[in-house]
Amino acid sequence: MAGRPALDCYELRHCAATMLLERGMTPWDVAIQLGHQDGGRLITSLYGHPSEVAARERLLAAWDESPALAERIGSGARREQTP
């Protein structure tokens, strides 16, 4: 693959999970994308490995955002519950 080592599907899943987490998606969001039914538990324990630096940058940005902007963007923490 263009001079790169071969990657298997599990390595690509790890990469995708990490990239989504780095972009601010919640483990719950990533679990849905990967087809998991566990509410994000496997994502937090196995798949996602975001950096501490990126997490701190997101935390600082969250404190800098206006409440109106944060409400418009949403955090992914509020979910509709299905019966």
Element spanning 31, H or E:
helix 27-34
* Residues 70, 49 contacting (CB under 8 angstroms): no
- For the chain, the maximum distance between any two Cα atoms, rounded to a whole number of angstroms, is 50
pLDDT at 31: 93
b/e per residue, 16-37, with b = 16+ CB within 10 A?
ebbebbbebbbbbbbbeeeebe
pLDDT at 83: 44
52 phi, psi to nearest 5 deg = -65, -35
pLDDT mean values, one per 10 residues, the chain (83 residues): 73 86 88 92 80 81 68 52 44
